[in-house]
């Protein structure tokens, strides 16, 4: 088998603002695994990589995988061969896709899921300036599930403006570590008043001990505090749920293990993503059946996408076709 990879940068349709950064583009690694005339593909984003030089580390890890796969390594072997992150996610996805293409058996069948149907995905409203923020709210008409980025001095006003424009929305908020524990306590009744269903990562990881035993009317979901399977015991003591991102945990194989363990710990499950094309969304879609909250259509905020893509109509994301992935 032959394993190759390439890096590419794709701009966002609009500048993407949140509490910790403002971004204009996403950097992706795309992997192709060929076995004769059959090929499997995978894709991941290098955003929030734990490595000082994400591109160099990713290239090195893909090369490790290439050698190991040539010696017969499979998906389960990757869990110990490579660290959690983008490289393992992309290679893992390519292995899943290649297996499906060889066998004619879809990934959802191999996992043991029912035949997939469209799932409702949430639309993110970014932490932009007022003009872009209001336009994003207006553009959200027709989408029932919204994720509102917070983490500024104007958070109360943003919630009020959101409810003025979208009183009908099923609303969650993502703070991206933007609050102190004291700010969180002050905001909890405000969130409840605006019928917010959950809060994603309200405080920085170094402040999360303040969450232990904290009464809250709204569940708290770990994102920046949660990276991979080994984090679950700590997270279960502090949060009500986890956001599983394939780019962080290292692929679909790892994500399915996390789902099983999260259920054993009575944690609520969200499946999220970083911005990437439909090729990455396709792998994340395989976890959507298990999730209460879904934010996996990162391809919708990019200026380019692979074809065939995954259409999203009024917030309902269609499953990937065999031609795309899996």
Residues 223 and 147 grouped into a single domain:
yes
Residue 40 domain-assigned?
yes
Residues 216 and 138 grouped into a single domain:
yes
Binding residues for Mg(2+): 174, 200, 223
Residues 97 and 245 grouped into a single domain:
no
Q: Residue 302 contacts by C-beta under 8 Å, 6 or more apart in sequence? A: 10, 11, 12, 13, 26, 275, 276, 277
Residue 313 domain-assigned?
yes
Identify how many contiguous H helices and E strands the chain contains and give both numbers: 11, 14
Residue 323 domain-assigned?
no
Residue 241 domain-assigned?
yes
Which of 55, 138, 147, 245 is the catalytic position? Answer: 245
Say if CB 3 and CB 94 are below 8 A apart. Answer: yes
Both structure tokens of 203: 């405080």
Residue 95 domain-assigned?
yes
CA distances from 188 to 155, 184, 240, 290 (A): 12, 6, 15, 27
Per-residue model confidence (pLDDT) at position 310? 98
Per-residue model confidence (pLDDT) at position 26? 93
Q: What is the CATH number of the domain that holds 26?
A: 3.30.390.10
Residue 322 domain-assigned?
no
Mean pLDDT, 10 residues at a time, the chain of 326 residues: 96 82 89 97 89 92 97 96 96 98 97 96 91 92 95 96 96 97 98 98 97 97 95 97 97 98 98 96 96 96 96 96 98
Domain endpoint, select from 107, 125, 158:
107
pTM score: 0.94
Residue 324 domain-assigned?
no
Catalytic residue list contains 55: no
Whether residue 308 has a cis bond before it, omega within 30° of 0: yes
Residues 102 and 118 grouped into a single domain:
no
Give the total number of structural domains in the chain.
Answer: 2
Domain endpoint, select from 107, 122, 141:
107
Per-residue model confidence (pLDDT) at position 112? 95
Residues 248 and 274 grouped into a single domain:
yes
Residues 126 and 265 grouped into a single domain:
yes
Beta strands in 135-176 (DSSP E): 145-149, 170-174
Binding residues: 174, 200, 223
Per-residue model confidence (pLDDT) at position 14? 83
Residues 178 and 268 grouped into a single domain:
yes
Per-residue model confidence (pLDDT) at position 203? 98
Residues 11 and 138 grouped into a single domain:
no
Per-residue model confidence (pLDDT) at position 128? 85
Which of 55, 101, 138, 149 is the catalytic position? Answer: 149
Catalytic residue list contains 138: no
Beta strands in 175-289 (DSSP E): 196-200, 220-222, 241-245, 268-272
Per-residue model confidence (pLDDT) at position 51? 80
Q: Looking up tokens 């009183």, which residue turns up?
A: 167
Q: What is the CATH number of the domain that holds 194?
A: 3.20.20.120
Residue 326 domain-assigned?
no
Residues 131 and 264 grouped into a single domain:
yes
Domain endpoint, select from 107, 140, 172:
107
Give the integer Cα–Cα distance in Å for 319 and 283.
10
Residues 155 and 288 grouped into a single domain:
yes
Q: Residue 133 contacts by C-beta under 8 Å, 6 or more apart in sequence? A: 125, 126, 127, 158, 161
Per-residue model confidence (pLDDT) at position 148? 97
Residues 123 and 254 grouped into a single domain:
yes
Residues 195 and 297 grouped into a single domain:
yes
Per-residue model confidence (pLDDT) at position 286? 97
Q: Which domain holds residue 51?
A: 2-107
């Amino acid at each position: 088998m032959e394993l190759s990879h390439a890096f590419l940068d794709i701009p966002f349709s609009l500048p993407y603002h949140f509490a910790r950064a403002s971004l204009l583009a996403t950097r992706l690694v795309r992997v192709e695994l060929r076995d004769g005339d059959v090929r499997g593909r995978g894709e991941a984003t290098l955003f929030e990589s734990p490595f000082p030089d994400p591109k160099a580390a990713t290239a090195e890890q893909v090369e490790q995988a290439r050698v190991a796969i040539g010696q017969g390594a499979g998906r389960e072997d990757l869990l110990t061969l490579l660290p959690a992150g983008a490289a393992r996610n992309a290679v893992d996805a390519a292995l899943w896709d290649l297996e499906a293409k060889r066998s004619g058996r879809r990934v959802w069948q191999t996992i043991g899921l029912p035949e997939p149907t469209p799932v409702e995905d949430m639309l993110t409203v970014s932490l932009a300036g007022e003009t872009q923020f209001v336009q994003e709210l207006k553009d959200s008409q027709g989408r029932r599930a919204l994720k509102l980025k917070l983490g500024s001095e104007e958070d109360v006003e943003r919630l009020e403006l959101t409810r003025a424009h979208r009183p009908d929305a099923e609303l969650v908020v993502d703070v991206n570590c933007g609050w102190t524990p004291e700010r969180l306590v002050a905001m909890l009744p405000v969130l409840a008043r605006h019928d917010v269903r959950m809060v994603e990562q309200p405080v920085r990881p170094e402040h999360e001990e303040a969450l232990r035993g904290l009464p809250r009317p709204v569940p708290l979901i770990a994102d920046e505090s949660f990276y991979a399977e080994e984090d679950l015991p700590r997270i279960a003591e502090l949060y009500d749920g986890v956001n599983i991102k394939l780019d962080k945990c290292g692929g679909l194989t790892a994500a399915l293990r996390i789902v099983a363990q999260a259920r054993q710990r009575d944690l609520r499950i969200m499946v999220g993503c970083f911005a990437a094309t439909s090729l990455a969304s396709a792998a994340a879609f395989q976890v959507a059946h298990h999730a209460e909250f879904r934010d996996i259509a990162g391809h919708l905020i990019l200026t380019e996408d692979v074809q065939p893509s995954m259409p999203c109509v009024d917030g309902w994301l269609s499953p990937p076709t065999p031609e795309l992935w899996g």
